[in-house]
Structure 1
Amino acid sequence: MITGKQRSYLKGIANTIDPIFQLGKNGLTENFIRQVDDALKAREIVKINVLKNSTLDPSEVASQLSEELNAEFVQSIGRKFVLYRQSEDKPEIILPR
């Protein structure tokens, strides 16, 4: 569980990155979940865009993905949301205490 200060720090980082995934009408597939998992291993923080043609609610998708991938939900703005998971091998993002 991350603190409010850590969440604010991650929001600042997320503000500078572009979404690397787009979730469309196909919804959450096993392949999509696997790709997000791989991206979290490599980057620690990912931004995902839920397209307008998708019937899924971005906050519900963020909640489901964070549970399945053991990641932290950082923020949701409009149809975009951000997930964070610290790397087990070599963490690059150092969170404030």
Structure 2
Amino acid sequence: MALAGRQIRQLRSLAHHLEPVVIVGKSCVTENTVEQANEYIEKHELIKCSVLDTCAQTPHEAAEDLAEALGAEVVQVIGRKFTLYRETSREGVEKIQLD
């Protein structure tokens, strides 16, 4: 699912006030990182992540790896932080309505 420009802008505005909930450390993207991110993204659909300076991957590489593992879309990468989006599979919850 590729996001359109207006959808990316909408998600970026929603993510602006979020704090990073997943930290990618010196071990880069590991199974534990993927599990933790999967829990958060299933609950919230939109998550912000941070990459530590000690990580061997660039923030773009870490974002792509984590997005691929989660089946999510990279919304944006700014500095050492990135935002991911994936629609939740839970029923009966309010979902982000994309334009």
The TM-score with structure 2 as length reference comes to: 0.91
Matched with 2:28 is 27
Counterpart CA distance in 2 for 1:91 and 1:70 is 20
Which letter maps to 1:68?
A
Among all aligned residue pairs of Structure 1 and Structure 2, give the percentage whose two residues are the same amino acid: 36
Matched with 1:38 is 39
> What is the aligned residue count?
96
Unpaired stretches in structure 2, ≥5 consecutive residues: none
Counterpart CA distance in 1 for 2:31 and 2:53 is 21
Task: Show structure 1 runs of 4+ deviating over 4 A.
Answer: none
- 1:46 Cα deviation after fit: 0.6
Matched with 1:58 is 59
- 1:16 Cα deviation after fit: 1.1
- 1:93 Cα deviation after fit: 1.0
Please, which moves more after superposition, 28-37 or 5-14? 28-37
Counterpart CA distance in 1 for 2:66 and 2:11 is 18
The TM-score with structure 1 as length reference comes to: 0.92
